[in-house]
Amino acid sequence: MTMGESGEMYLETLLLLSKKQEYVISNDLAIELGYSRPSVCRAVKLLKQDKYIDVDGSGHLTLTNSGLEIAEKIYERHLVISKFFESIGVSAETAAEDACRIEHVISDESFQKLKEHIKLVIY
């Protein structure tokens, strides 16, 4: 599976759910993302096949090291971009929605420069 926006969303969502609850199963992802169970099952199969997640005998999902690395990268982007938009007066809800889209397409270079700029201006 080529890691695109959809795969990143699954990994980021798994990361966030795993911070809130002891176990995460496919149905938790389906509910959180608003996707059908068959779609989630297919994605989980591909993410497992590509070694981004592990699934134990009880159906509990966990991120592998490579999955965790991607999930944390995307989540950091989400937080930084949201914070930036809020700092210029965008509502928290709109900032989060926009960050959710931008976090998947922004280049590493642009994101690093944005982080540097935010540190100078906001902190």
The mean pLDDT values, 10 residues at a time, for the chain of 123 residues are 80 97 96 95 95 96 97 96 93 96 94 89 66
Question: Which phi and psi angles does 55 have, rounded to 5°?
Answer: -125, 120
Question: Which phi and psi angles does 63 have, rounded to 5°?
Answer: -80, 140
* Those residues with Cβ within 8 angstroms of residue 95's Cβ, 6 or more apart along the chain or in another chain: 81, 82, 83, 84, 85, 86
pLDDT tens figures, 61-91: 999 999 999 999 999 999 999 999 998 999 9
Are residues 93 and 58 in contact, defined by beta-carbon separation less than 8 angstroms?
A: no
Structural domains in the chain, sorted by start: 5-69 (1.10.10.10), 73-121 (1.10.60)
* Residue 73 pLDDT: 95
Q: How far apart are CA 43 and CA 46, in angstroms?
A: 5
Q: What is the pTM of this model?
A: 0.88
Read off the tokens for 101.
């889209």
